[in-house]
Amino acid sequence: MSGWLVIAGLGPGNEQLVTPEVSVALRDATDIVGYIPYVRRVAPRVGLTRHESDNRVELDRARNALEMAAAGQRVVVVSSGDPGVFAMASAVFEAVEAGPPHWRDLDIRVLPGVTAMLAAAARAGAPLGHDFCAINLSDNLKPWQVIEKRLRLAVEADFAMALYNPRSSARPEGFGRMLHILHDICEPKRVLIFARAVSTPEETLRVVSLAEATPEMADMRTVVLVGSSATRVVSRAGSPFVYTPRSVLA
């Protein structure tokens, strides 16, 4: 019985962005657990069972993975991006804390990955090159008032921002409300980047001003980056470079 549980980040989509450490864990696993599209990124092979589950059942999925590891299996819970950023790692430790005491003694490791905001920022230039924050816009797990408060304080702090899960068919209005708040407190020229499915064949990147931004520019495969007041757009033939300078003047 030497089971283990690895919570691994598969990166934003392209196999060239999966770390060797994660590839080794996937190779050694007996069981892959996760949301359907992420599990399907792992090729089937003899000796490997792939456990696909639907969205929004993170705690059930985590408990299932922990039970299998406790029974001696070698389990990889897969997330896209980094597993610690709005993904499965928190759910697993939540399950550990609430679960039987022997779960705490399991061999549990988190393997980091390239999270969506870093892949998106890299495509645009360096929009997160100075202090920044990451906010999950989904209000499934927190009240909208908390999101609004954080947005307002983040703008006051003049952070660049990465907004995850900006919009889904179940929550079509939140992102429009978010844009209204930004209109309220930012200049119309504030830079927004809509980065969709970065590193996959469906990748699109759109650099617009706040004045030009519309809710339809985002969906669940989009991460939205919002510049700080200092973020610069360097125009050129093709998509511009966007970067936030390293310095703040006194």
Neighbouring residues of 53: CB distance < 8 A, sequence distance ≥ 6 = 33, 34, 35, 36, 60, 61, 64
Rounded to whole angstroms, the Cα distance separating 5 from 196 reads 31
Of residues 193-232, which lie at the interface with a copy of itself (CB under 8 A)?
A: 232
Q: Would you state the structure tokens that stand for residue 31, as one six-digit string?
A: 């069981």
Instruction: Name the minimum Å distance from CB 118 to a copy of itself.
Output: 4
Per-residue string for binding with a copy of itself, 154-193, x by CB under 8 A? x-xxxx----------------------------------
Of residues 66-95, which lie at the interface with a copy of itself (CB under 8 A)?
A: 82-87, 89-94
For a copy of itself, the closer of residues 32 and 137 by Cβ is 137
Of residues 121-150, which lie at the interface with a copy of itself (CB under 8 A)?
A: 121-123, 125-136, 141-143, 145-146, 149-150
| CB 162, CB 117: distance < 8 Å | yes
Q: Name the DSSP letter for residue 85.
A: S
For a copy of itself, the closer of residues 81 and 218 by Cβ is 81
Of residues 97-116, which lie at the interface with a copy of itself (CB under 8 A)?
A: 97, 104-105, 108-115
**Strand partners for 79:** 9
* Residue 136 parent element (H or E): strand 132-136
